[in-house]
Structure 1
Amino acid sequence: MPRPTCSRCQRPLGHCLCALIPDLDSRTRVLILQHPSEVGHALNTARLAALGLRNAELRVGEVFDDLPQLLAQPGYRTCLLFPGDEAAALTAYAADEQPLLLVVPDGTWRKARKLLHLNPSLAALPRVSLSVAAPSRYRLRKVPEEGALSTIEAIATALDTLEAPRCFDALLKPFDALIEGQIAAMGEEVFIRNHQR
């Protein structure tokens, strides 16, 4: 029989993170497009980000038929948070009068690229990337490349950049608790052996 889970954070009731999820307002609107393969992931950080931000929306799918309407938010300038040679540094947008609608694909790099391929209006958006970010707090897996962050870390870093001097560290509290919980469940010895190389 499956363990009872919290309907909000979707964690097992004994490990509910809702008390740690903040209720943050932001000038920036965040639209997270999550690949379906991420939904059941134990560390579903996109869901935690969407729950912690009032001005955020999480959509799950591969093809988003209503994407043109989602992207056409009056009063917002729309950008895709996705690194690449053609991506502008997000710092260039920090002084903008017009707030951003920041579109964030959530999935492995391969799945995120697939979302762009299947949704041409997404791929056509101007791209932005983070400047040098702090190392990932995601200590449970090796980062594929220097500067790689989980979705919630990327969103918090982007908001810190766009809305400085405001700080969005509170968004990472449930994420940090999730990581600590996973490490505790596997045991310190196993964690050190498998993840501290």
Structure 2
Amino acid sequence: MPRHLCRRCHLHPNICVCDHCSAVPNQTPLTVLQHPSEVGRSKGTLRILEQCLTRLQVFVGETPAEFRQAGLGDNIPLAGTAVLFPGPDSQALEEADLQGIHHWVLLDGTWRKAAKILHLNRRIGELPRYHFAAPPPSRYVIRKAPGDHHLATAEAAGHLLQHLEPGLDTDPIHAAMAALVTRQLAQIPAPLRDRYR
């Protein structure tokens, strides 16, 4: 690896936010299914969760075969597991009884590619699904979202954990997200930055 890249996230120091990441000791285990097209993206937010959350699994793939090859196998128990992803069959998380849910699955990819993961992986797609009825506004201005209510992966995980574990300090996730946006904007020529604000 070239010396100028961070040894933890493998990105250039100008866009690395490792210095803003600190431990968030979540008790609720999260599993993220990451689309292969997201791996290595400098604007990706999953790397923040990988450095902050103490209970996190990440598997890269799109098809069941790819996820099995990545080691997913039967690591996701069907009982007590839910997916955080909006859709026609999803329930508003804030209004639901979540006592029987002990494990959450999140999807990391564009809206279309995340939906494709659910479509191709019937075992995951058949799990109970939830969405945020009133999510906070996203501050992730450096990538275009399908709508105002869509959150980046790290934002969604942070907001989910705030709801599930009210006493958990998720500020490190938000601080790293803010640093990511600041450092990415700094790479954009000044005349173009206002387009992202």
> Which TM-score applies when normalising by structure 1?
0.86
| Cα separation, 2, equivalents of 1:99 and 1:126 | 9
* Closer, same or farther: CA 53–179 of 1 in aligned 2, 3 Å: same
Asked whether the 8 Å contact 2:48–2:176 carries over to 1, the reply is: yes
Q: For 1:71, give the aligned amino acid.
A: I
| Cα separation, 1, equivalents of 2:74 and 2:33 | 14
Structure 2 equivalent of residue 175 of structure 1: 177
Per mean C-alpha deviation after superposition, the further-off stretch among 86-95 and 157-166 is 86-95
Per mean C-alpha deviation after superposition, the further-off stretch among 111-120 and 139-148 is 139-148
The counterpart of 1:90, out of the listed 81, 85, 93, is 93
Structure 1 equivalent of residue 38 of structure 2: 38
Asked whether the 8 Å contact 2:111–2:146 carries over to 1, the reply is: no
The counterpart of 1:136, out of the listed 138, 143, 164, is 138
| Cα separation, 2, equivalents of 1:177 and 1:94 | 35
Structure 2 equivalent of residue 195 of structure 1: 196
Structure 1 equivalent of residue 74 of structure 2: 69
| Cα separation, 2, equivalents of 1:107 and 1:115 | 9
Structure 2 equivalent of residue 22 of structure 1: 22
Superposed displacement of residue 86, structure 1: 1.3
Per mean C-alpha deviation after superposition, the further-off stretch among 151-160 and 61-70 is 61-70
Structure 2 equivalent of residue 106 of structure 1: 108
| Cα separation, 2, equivalents of 1:33 and 1:85 | 21
| Cα separation, 2, equivalents of 1:7 and 1:128 | 36
Any runs of at least 4 consecutive aligned residues in structure 1 with deviations exceeding 4 A, and if so which? 92-95
Identity %: 35
Asked whether the 8 Å contact 1:79–1:102 carries over to 2, the reply is: yes
Q: For 2:35, give the aligned amino acid.
A: H
Asked whether the 8 Å contact 1:3–1:12 carries over to 2, the reply is: no
* Closer, same or farther: CA 100–11 of 1 in aligned 2, 3 Å: same
Q: For 2:4, give the aligned amino acid.
A: P
Q: Which runs of no fewer than 5 residues in structure 2 stay unpaired?
A: none
Per mean C-alpha deviation after superposition, the further-off stretch among 5-14 and 146-155 is 5-14
Deviations 1:35-61 (A, max 9, x none): 010012111211211221001111111
Asked whether the 8 Å contact 2:25–2:168 carries over to 1, the reply is: no
Q: For 1:191, give the aligned amino acid.
A: R
* Closer, same or farther: CA 117–95 of 1 in aligned 2, 3 Å: closer
* Closer, same or farther: CA 48–94 of 1 in aligned 2, 3 Å: farther
The counterpart of 1:78, out of the listed 76, 81, 90, is 81
For residue 125 of structure 1, give the secondary structure of its aligned residue in structure 2. Answer: coil
Deviations 1:4-47 (A, max 9, x none): 32232222145432221121111211101100100121112112
* Closer, same or farther: CA 106–15 of 1 in aligned 2, 3 Å: closer
Asked whether the 8 Å contact 1:93–1:162 carries over to 2, the reply is: no
For residue 75 of structure 2, give the secondary structure of its aligned residue in structure 1. Answer: helix
Asked whether the 8 Å contact 2:43–2:143 carries over to 1, the reply is: no
For residue 31 of structure 1, give the secondary structure of its aligned residue in structure 2. Answer: strand
Q: Which runs of no fewer than 5 residues in structure 1 stay unpaired?
A: none
For residue 43 of structure 1, give the secondary structure of its aligned residue in structure 2. Answer: coil
For residue 70 of structure 1, give the secondary structure of its aligned residue in structure 2. Answer: coil
* Closer, same or farther: CA 110–40 of 1 in aligned 2, 3 Å: same
Asked whether the 8 Å contact 1:47–1:58 carries over to 2, the reply is: no
